[in-house]
Structure 1
Amino acid sequence: MTGQAANGAWPSASPPAAERLLHWQLSGVAELPAMRAQVRRAMGPSIDPDALDQLILALDEMASNALRHGGGGRVEASVRSTDTGYLIEVSDAAAARPPMPAVDRDPSEGGLGLYLIARMALRHGWYASARAKHVWALLPRS
């Protein structure tokens, strides 16, 4: 797949500089519908509809992965703006565990969201801070 390291992990890289547009602190997947609705309300009038759908899909996938597999604790998610696109960044408590797309799994069992995001993204990656893993994807404006 495009942009992936040979072992299936996302590349270790820092995201581009970007201006914060939206930010959430999440504690459970039940909060994801409200997050998606807020993105539609806040960004819908000013963004290409297809780009908006991709942005919401990637944000939802990354946030749900962090909530389900991120080691518990607080998950933070944000949408930022760059000159070329929209930067999605999600952090969780699993600082030592890189994002790993599913390998050798039947597509009907799920786990293919990271592949999809990597294909949609201009760039993607992850990095660790002292207490968190940060996973990011830069999606095009249109």
Structure 2
Amino acid sequence: METLSIDAPAVRSAGAVAEAREAARGFLGALRPAVGPDAADSVVLVVSELVTNAVRHGGATCTLRLTAHPGSIEVAVEDPSPHPPRKRVPDLHHGTGGFGWHMVNDLALATDVTPTPEGGKTVRALLPR
């Protein structure tokens, strides 16, 4: 089992999300056996969505952990907010979002939100390898 852990910068910018995506690509690229391109794209998309939500709604700082299991990749994002993600009606007219959590749940085999001892939460998504 291989694991990668990074701290996303405590900024509200695309920089944190881009860094998380690049870390995920590097992690996936080093795995043997290799992860297929469609599975890798799904993992990177889920990383992007979960880190974006953590930075935007979870207190502007988060930790990303990726773990490779024999048949799956686990994406875990921890942030200081106790509030779980919620499904919203996607905003098709004003661009305020609402697509991310739906997308994560559609791509993942399973999702889970657990409170941390410090009062925040960890959001996990298990994706096919």
Map 1:1-142; keep pairs closer than 5 Å. 19-26=1-8, 27-28=10-11, 29=13, 30-44=15-29, 46-72=34-60, 74-95=61-82, 97-103=83-89, 105-108=90-93, 109=95, 110-131=97-118, 132-141=120-129
- Using the alignment, how far apart are the partners of 1:113 and 1:93 within structure 2? 19
Asked if the contact 1:20/1:78 (under 8 Å) is kept, the reply is no
What code does the residue aligned with 1:21 have?
T
Give RMSD over aligned pairs.
1.7
Residues 67 and 20 of structure 1: is their aligned pair in 2 closer, same or farther, counting only changes over 3 Å? farther
Which digits, 9 at most, give the CA deviation of each residue in 1:76-129, with x for residues without a partner? Answer: 11111223200000011112x1111213x4235222111111011111110102
Name the structure, 1 or 2, with higher relative contact order (CA <8 Å, separation 6+). 1
Asked if the contact 2:71/2:128 (under 8 Å) is kept, the reply is yes
Asked if the contact 2:20/2:64 (under 8 Å) is kept, the reply is no
* Identity among equivalent pairs (%): 28
SS in 1 for 2:76: strand
Residues 85 and 93 of structure 1: is their aligned pair in 2 closer, same or farther, counting only changes over 3 Å? same
What code does the residue aligned with 2:21 have?
R
Structure-2-length-normalised TM-score: 0.82
Alignment gaps of 5+ in structure 2:
none
Paired positions, count = 120
Q: List structure 1 segments (4+ residues) > 6 angstroms apart after TM superposition.
A: none
Alignment gaps of 5+ in structure 1:
1-18
What code does the residue aligned with 1:61 have?
E
Structure-1-length-normalised TM-score: 0.76
- Using the alignment, how far apart are the partners of 1:129 and 1:115 within structure 2? 23
